[in-house]
Amino acid sequence: MTAITASVLRGATEGSSTHAASELDSYLRSVGNDAINHFRASFTNKSREEVLLEDIALTTSRCFKADWDGYGAAPISRNALTLAKRFVDYVITLPLPEVTPHPDGEIAFDWYGDSESVFSISFGDGRINYAGRFDKGSVVHGCESMDSLDFELVERMVRRIFQS
């Protein structure tokens, strides 16, 4: 579940003492990231694109100053934010990723499978790094510019996460 999605949904329910709110929170945590984003899109009448763009904005909003994490993190660069937003159109047909700010100033989209499979793509100043770990110890990694990134490769790797 995306950190921001979880916190937004929990924030709506944690202050409430109703049993139904608690059950909803438990259920949403159990069904996973894509189901939560689908629920959010349906419940709020927002498209999957709007949900992902909102996650990017909310997740990075506190990260534009140096030391945003209290451990010396670099501020998220405007270039990283621009690349991440540009990439939304390419991943909108895939399960929605977790959006994570990195202490080196990058923004990452992370997908986690049922096992120990993971695929991550991070956006920095003019470059995109990606890495994946799949079943049976298979790995993939690379660094590209937005113009040279093979989007079909990214799609295959994300779909592979959910086939494990």
For residues 71-80, average pLDDT: 94
All residues at 6 or more sequence positions from 56 whose CB lies less than 8 Å from its CB, including other chains:
81, 84, 85, 88, 99, 107
Residue 27 lies in a domain: no
Look at residue 114 in the predicted model and tell me its pLDDT.
78
CB 106 within 8 A of CB 56: no
Residue 15 lies in a domain: no
Residue 75 lies in a domain: yes
pTM, 2 dp? 0.72
Identify which of 43, 47, 61 has the alpha carbon closest to the alpha carbon of residue 3. 61
Name the domain count of the chain: 1
Whole-angstrom Cα distance, residue 131 to residue 97? 14
CB 78 within 8 A of CB 126: no
DSSP tally for the chain: helices H, then strands E: 6, 5
Identify which of 112, 16, 101, 20 has the alpha carbon closest to the alpha carbon of residue 63. 101
Look at residue 37 in the predicted model and tell me its pLDDT.
52
pLDDT at 4 over 80: no
Look at residue 135 in the predicted model and tell me its pLDDT.
83
Residue 87 lies in a domain: yes
Residue 13 lies in a domain: no
Mean pLDDT of the residues in the chain: 78
Residue 147 lies in a domain: yes
Report which of residues 70 and 22 the model is more confident about: 70
CB 154 within 8 A of CB 146: no
Residue 157 lies in a domain: yes
Summarised one tens digit per residue, pLDDT across range 25-70 is 434 443 444 455 555 555 567 888 998 999 999 999 999 999 999 9
Residue 127 lies in a domain: yes
Structural domain span for residue 71: 46-161
pLDDT at 119 over 90: yes
